[in-house]
Amino acid sequence: MTSPIDPFAEAEALLAAAQPMTDSFWRNAIGRVQQTAGQMGLDGLLVLDSLNVTYLTGFHHIPNERPLGLWVPGNGAPVLLVAHLEKENAEATWITDVRTYPEFPGEEDPLLWMLRETGARRVGIDTLEARKLAPLSDAVAHLVLTDIVERQRFTKSPAELALTRAAAACADIVLETVRADGPDLLSRGGTEQDVLALGFAAANAAMKRQLGARFGASKCAVLGTAHSGARAALPHGKTVARAPLPGETLIVGIGAAVGGYYAESAATFTLGGMTADQRLCLEAALRCRDAAVGALRPGALCHEIDRAAAASLKGDGFGSAIRHRIGHGMGGHNHEAPWLAPGDTTPVAANMVLSNEPGIYRAGVDGYRLISTMIPQADGVEIPSQFLDRHGIDGLVLPM
């Protein structure tokens, strides 16, 4: 069932409305970290993970071997601690206190230098190599590893959700383009690589038109894979220069980032028609997706959503074809905690961003994967990835 709304115009409108994060967001995020660190009895938190630094400051850089740190004191202004060659880049942010070390590895370990610069005695750190733990612990009265920033990132603000919706719409542009223009391309012998390039070109053009340069160094991009035939049975199949054939399935899985925030969409197309067996598989995948949506509510545990989805596939006779969890968190990275998977007991909270990825993989035969982005709310689940709901099963046939 095709929506009368022009999906391309709808996606471009969301991209046009997308706005970069501002220092008010970062100040608020740092304030919440300070509150939690205080409750833990810490003088502050030394943030070393590059995604956590970006989340708290908006500072985008190219991660490399030179450590980058953000000191978040219990009270007062944050401090960026960077290698000297990053000085000007760091000073271009809203952070007013930027301090530099000469070079890596240096006569003094940069991390020991950072601890000395903080002047603190009770310090939390978000990530650390095991070999660094002893010397850094000796440098302060109390050192604790903590994931408070990562857990704070689990739930998104309205501004972050707006970027997530724009990213989902951008991923949908790729699928809409494959659906609209893929049949002609495939009929002329187009390969998996050609299919992916076709969709990427449309999404990148829309980004260029609507986003312009206002997002600066924050990531605005599309990525993904397209794989077909028996290779569709590989959950992480590579995209190659192979022409898909009539009668096969073609999985197109897309991630997109707008302003550094990710979302995902994916569809499995059937080529030249749809057999009864293919329809059976796609119907089971959609029921699995619906089971995950039905189980996703604030307070539920992440592993319970995966269990509900797996039970649906097993009930349809596809238990042996399950190769992975039902989903994962998204935000500054396209794969991040929490995980909708066995063993993750994180409670679901409103405004998390999570993927929903039912997959059926029949070795040597074919594969089926659908992906939607989900945002749980108190009154239901928002699905910013609209492609699957817009077209339904019959819209997944690509004539050849």
- The answer to whether residue 5 scores a pLDDT higher than 90 is no
pLDDT of residue 2 exceeding 90, the answer is: no
Model confidence, pTM? 0.95
**Beta strands in 259-298, from DSSP E residues, in sequence order:** 261-271
Q: How confident is the model at residue 217 (pLDDT cuts 50, 70, 90)?
A: confident
What domains lie within the chain, and their CATH numbers?
23-153 (3.40.350.10), 158-398 (3.90.230.10)
pLDDT of residue 63: 84
pLDDT band at 85 (very low <50, low <70, confident <90, very high): very high
Please determine, for residue 82, whether its predicted confidence score (pLDDT) is greater than 70: yes
Q: Of 298, 265, 266, 290, whose CA–CA distance to 375 is shortest?
A: 298
In this prediction, residue 276 carries a pLDDT of 98
Which two tokens mark 330?
Answer: 């998204």
C-alpha distances (whole Å) from 216 to each of 58, 180, 346, 351, 370 are 11, 32, 34, 26, 32
Mean pLDDT of the chain: 96
pLDDT at 1 over 50: no
Q: Is the pLDDT of residue 209 over 90?
A: yes
For the cut 80, the answer to whether the pLDDT of residue 134 exceeds it is yes
* Mean pLDDT (whole number) for 20-30: 97
Contact assessment for residue 76 and residue 43, using Cβ atoms and an 8 Å cutoff:
no
- pLDDT of residue 203 exceeding 50: yes
CA–CA separation, 167 vs 15, rounded Å?
8
As a whole number, mean pLDDT of residues 1-30 equals 88
User: What whole-number distance in Å separates Cα of residue 260 and Cα of residue 276?
Assistant: 41
pLDDT at 62: 84
Residue 158's CB is within 10 A of a number of other CB atoms, namely 8
pLDDT of residue 61: 84
Q: Residue 4's pLDDT is what?
A: 58
**Cα torsion angle, 52, 58, 64, 66, sign:** negative
What mean pLDDT do residues 197-202 have?
98
% pLDDT > 90, the chain = 96
